[in-house]
Structure 1
Amino acid sequence: MKPVSLIDVASYQPPDQVGREYFEQYSRPDDPLLRNPMFRAPEFRRYASREQTGADLIEQAAHALAERHGTGVLRDVDVLITYNALPDVPFLGSGAEVARRLGAQPESIVDLHNGHCVVFPHMLDLARKVLQEQGARTALLCVSQNAGKIFTQPGVRTSAHASVPGDGAAVALVAASDESPILATKVQHHPEFAPDVNITLADGRLYWEPGTAEMDVGFDNTKAQNVIERGTKIVPEVVREVLGRIEHDVADVDLLITNQPNRLLLRNWSRDLGIDPAKHFDTFDSYGNLFGAGVPVSLDHALRADRIAPGSLVVLAGFAGAGEMSACAAIRWQGGN
């Protein structure tokens, strides 16, 4: 089967850095989630400005990739796959707008909206299949998390869960090549957990109806505990399945990068897999929970920090929402023949 490689990744973080103390000044001592370990705040997070769209963040990340590979590489991509956590326009993804800004005319534009926190391994799975089966040569994967502004609304920022998310974006170039081959991928759906993800508004209106109540993510301690238990279980499962497909085990992994919902799950995954925490790279204390952008942003920072040597086995994994999807991809970084 034709090899497909993850060639490079680049990320962008908005300049507005917000420390933990911002939320501490608004916290409510009667908040039932205040001591829930799922919502222990990171040291810092970055926020996009009110005016910055998901396409804006993606464009900034793409500039860094263009500096290394030239604008022609981005302009000539055959497949463009995008994910935007907070759609810039209702009904539409960001794909067409991103293509316009890059001057690209891809044969296929795919806007994903079901990958959420694990969208990047999901994208790698899709891009690998498309490039292998349809004969396309290159794909550009674009992920934007610009929903942080939801959690700074006056009524929402008083809740413990509001202090965890941050904003950022990443883009990755994938090509039909054996340079850094994607060895195996797996996307596992758990639709039975989908009802546990919902949006709440204090006045009971639907989010699209007129009103003044602030949109928020619905959480209580029971749901939070369910998410912790599911996430702790399904991510190691999908990692082990992918490693089994390539006839490796956890001891062979040089670097693990997962989504980063909180410190508790990061710790649980390292423990369950029996992997040295030093080999489980994250950017949580700098950027918080980046949702779908967490994996590619951390991958970019691991590369910047020289944490990935040529020939390394890199595993990217995570889960989405309340556990309705898990996914994993194994890559041999610069391990082609």
Structure 2
Amino acid sequence: MPQVSLVDVASYLPGSTVGTEYFTQFARSDRMAKNEMLRAPRTRHHVARDETAVDMVERAVAPLVERHGQQAISNIDVLLTHTQLPDNPVLGPGSEVARRLGMTPGWVIDIHNGGCAAFLHMIGLARMILQTTAARTALIAASQNSAGPVFTQTEVRKLAQAAVPGDGCGVGLLVKNSEAPILDVQTRTYPEFAGDMMFCTDVTGSGTFDRDRKYWEPGPGQPCVSFTESRIAKVFTRGNRLVPELAHAVCERIGVKSRDIDVFVTNQPNRLFLRNWREAMGLPPEQHPDTFDSCGNLFAAGIPVTLDAENRAGRLRNGSIVLMAAFAHAGDFAGAAAVRWGAAR
């Protein structure tokens, strides 16, 4: 199989930073807020009401255009996108992204599964397409755009989990060459955990949820993601296991010990997961960067946004091994990937 490289990453964070005080002014007494899984970051970003996922991708791709030229982007063969909250419930943003960027790719795929591990899912899919077809370049884009629209609703913003998410977009450029090779990608599905994350309607504004009304049906409530305390405990147990499990599997396949990894980048649900994953890999804090305190939980965009921040800061050395890992939703999907770093700055 020909080698495929992750030759560049870029990102976009919308608007100005939103402090936690925005949420504390609305918070009600709720013992869930004391749960370590729901401790808020210092700041996060929120998309504007009229800012679409396509807008976010276009702004995230702008640095790639500056570094590689418009023609390189317009000649992309494969376009993969993942959007946390699709602007149009019928179709994803792929075709509109292609139009905005002047692209006519042979492959346009909107990935709705994968959750927080979607960036790794797209790396694996893009790599497979480039290795098995005549396509030579791919653009992958992960947009998290639900923090502003969903978690600032008048009733939802009172909940403990409302202050945790942030919005942002991260993109990656893949090329069929050996400049910055993708060493391995592993993804696994755990269908036994499907359905454990609930999308509900808060009918009363008192923290009780209507789980019978469909989200598209009219009614007085506001939609949000709901976890009971017992389910949070289950997700915590799964997440603690799945991310190191997939990360160790990739290390074994590429023939390195986890302690020999140069940089470990994961999704960033909360500080507790970040600490536990780092300790499970036997790595010091400086080798496990994250953007949680400045951006919150960015879901699928967390990995590429953090990679871009570290790369722009000069903390990712060319030739180093960068290991990425994440789990999705309540644990129904997880993935890991390793790259010999060499992305542009």
TM class, shorter-length: over 0.9
Task: Output the CA distance in 1 between the equivalents of 2:272 and 2:259.
Answer: 22
1:165 deviates by 0.1
1:32 deviates by 3.3
**Aligned residue number for residue 246 of structure 1:** 254
Task: Spell out, residue by residue over 1:18-57, the C-alpha distance to the aligned partner (whole angstroms, 9 max, x if none).
Answer: 101111111111x231111110000000000000011111
Task: Output the CA distance in 1 between the equivalents of 2:280 and 2:117.
Answer: 19
Contact 2:155 2:202 in 1 (8 A): no
**Aligned residue number for residue 328 of structure 2:** 320
**Aligned residue number for residue 80 of structure 1:** 79
**Aligned residue number for residue 123 of structure 1:** 122
1:290 aligns with 2:290: no
**Aligned residue number for residue 46 of structure 1:** 45
Structure 1 residue ranges, 4+ long, deviating more than 4 angstroms after superposition: none
Task: Spell out, residue by residue over 1:67-103, the C-alpha distance to the aligned partner (whole angstroms, 9 max, x if none).
Answer: 1111111100000000111101012011001001001
Task: Output the CA distance in 2 between the equivalents of 1:104 and 1:125.
Answer: 22
1:211 deviates by 1.9
Q: Which residue type is aligned with residue 35 of structure 2?
A: N
1:213 aligns with 2:221: yes
Q: After TM superposition, list the pairs within 5 Å mapping 1:87-126 onto structure 2.
A: 87-126=86-125
The 3-state SS of whatever aligns with 1:187 is strand
Task: Output the CA distance in 2 between the equivalents of 1:190 and 1:88.
Answer: 28
Task: Output the CA distance in 2 between the equivalents of 1:145 and 1:334.
Answer: 26
**Aligned residue number for residue 207 of structure 2:** none
Task: Output the CA distance in 2 between the equivalents of 1:91 and 1:191.
Answer: 24
Contact 2:259 2:281 in 1 (8 A): no
RMSD across aligned positions (CA): 1.0
Count of aligned positions: 334
The 3-state SS of whatever aligns with 2:33 is coil
Contact 1:16 1:48 in 2 (8 A): no
Contact 2:184 2:338 in 1 (8 A): yes
Task: Output the CA distance in 2 between the equivalents of 1:312 and 1:27.
Answer: 44
Task: Spell out, residue by residue over 1:165-220, the C-alpha distance to the aligned partner (whole angstroms, 9 max, x if none).
Answer: 00000111101010000000000111111121121113432100112310010111
1:311 aligns with 2:319: yes
Task: Output the CA distance in 1 between the equivalents of 2:182 and 2:103.
Answer: 25
Q: Which runs of 5+ in 2 are unaligned?
A: 204-209
1:19 aligns with 2:27: no
Task: Output the CA distance in 2 between the equivalents of 1:13 and 1:77.
Answer: 24
The 3-state SS of whatever aligns with 1:195 is coil
Task: Spell out, residue by residue over 1:126-160, the C-alpha distance to the aligned partner (whole angstroms, 9 max, x if none).
Answer: 11111001121000001111111200001001111
1:286 deviates by 0.5
Task: Output the CA distance in 2 between the equivalents of 1:212 and 1:177.
Answer: 54
1:277 deviates by 1.5
The 3-state SS of whatever aligns with 1:34 is helix
**Aligned residue number for residue 64 of structure 2:** 65
Q: After TM superposition, list the pairs within 5 Å mapping 1:141-152 onto structure 2.
A: 141-149=140-148, 150-152=150-152
Question: Which segment drifts farther, 127-136 or 236-245?
Answer: 127-136
Task: Output the CA distance in 2 between the equivalents of 1:284 and 1:52.
Answer: 22
Contact 1:32 1:221 in 2 (8 A): no
| TM-score normalised per structure 1 | 0.97
Task: Output the CA distance in 1 between the equivalents of 2:144 and 2:160.
Answer: 20
Q: Which residue type is aligned with residue 175 of structure 1?
A: V
Contact 2:326 2:334 in 1 (8 A): yes
**Aligned residue number for residue 222 of structure 1:** 230
Task: Output the CA distance in 2 between the equivalents of 1:228 and 1:333.
Answer: 31
1:272 deviates by 1.2
